[in-house]
Amino acid sequence: MLDHELDLVFRALGDRTRRALVERLVRGPASVSELAEPLTMSLAAVVQHLQVLESAGIVRSEKVGRVRTCRIEPEMLRAGEHWLGRQRTTWESRLDRLGDFLAEPPPAPSEGTKT
Q: What is the pLDDT of residues 38-51, one digit of tens each?
A: 999 999 999 999 99
Q: Is the pTM of this model over 0.85?
A: no
Domains of the chain (ranges; CATH) run: 3-75 (1.10.10.10)
Give 10-47 pLDDT, tens digit per residue.
999 999 999 999 999 999 999 999 999 999 999 999 99
- For 77, half-sphere exposure in the C-beta direction (CA atoms, 13 angstrom radius) is 15
**Choice between 43 and 95, residue whose per-residue pLDDT is larger:** 43
Taking the C-alpha atoms of residue 26 and residue 30, their distance in angstroms, rounded to an integer, is 10
Helix, strand, or coil (residue 27): coil
Least Cα distance to 56 among 106, 13, 110, 96 occurs for 13
Alpha helices by DSSP H, the chain = 3-13, 16-26, 32-36, 43-55, 74-103
CA distance 91 to 104: 20
DSSP β-bridge partners for residue 59: 72
